[in-house]
Amino acid sequence: MAKRWELTGEVVTGVKKAAYFTQLNWVQEQCMEKLGFQPYPGTLNLNIVGDDLPVIEELQKEEGVKLIPPDPEFCTARVLSVALGAVRGAIIIPAEDVKVHGKHIIEVMAPVKLRDAFNVNDGNSLTLIIERSGDVQTI
């Protein structure tokens, strides 16, 4: 059964940890193997507010793809595969015990710098439309 979500958020600067995570060899390798791309260093962070907050809770219940670290010092992360127009990407759903953002922040990684691809800066609004049919999602 197909599912569809729409989220509107404000582009915000993150805590500057995603660039490190997305460039780890095991993350790069597993993203290529499981998602079909190697992520650009960092993520696009969206602050979701208002009526769209329950959508974040729904997304967090989705199974997604697991990125499993070879070293137990790192945590397992779940990602939901998405397409942003012609760009493939993924929403990162970190484990609760290592989540660095509040519940209202969505992190999206892709093989390109999304701020440049969409010509957005902090404070700009961006709407994500996520459609899921089986394993395919679209933004």
Query: Bridge-partner residues for 66, per DSSP?
Result: 78
The per-residue pLDDT for range 17-57, each reduced to its tens digit, is 788 888 999 999 999 999 999 999 999 999 988 888 888 88
Query: Which amino acid, 23?
Result: Q
Contacts of 112 (CB under 8 A, 6+ apart): 40, 87
Write the pLDDT tens digit of every residue in 67-92: 999 988 777 888 888 777 778 888 88
Give this prediction's pTM.
0.81
Domain that holds residue 115: 3-138
Which CATH number do you get for residue 132? 2.40.30.30
The total domain count for the chain is: 1
Q: Which two tokens stand for residue 101?
A: 């953002």
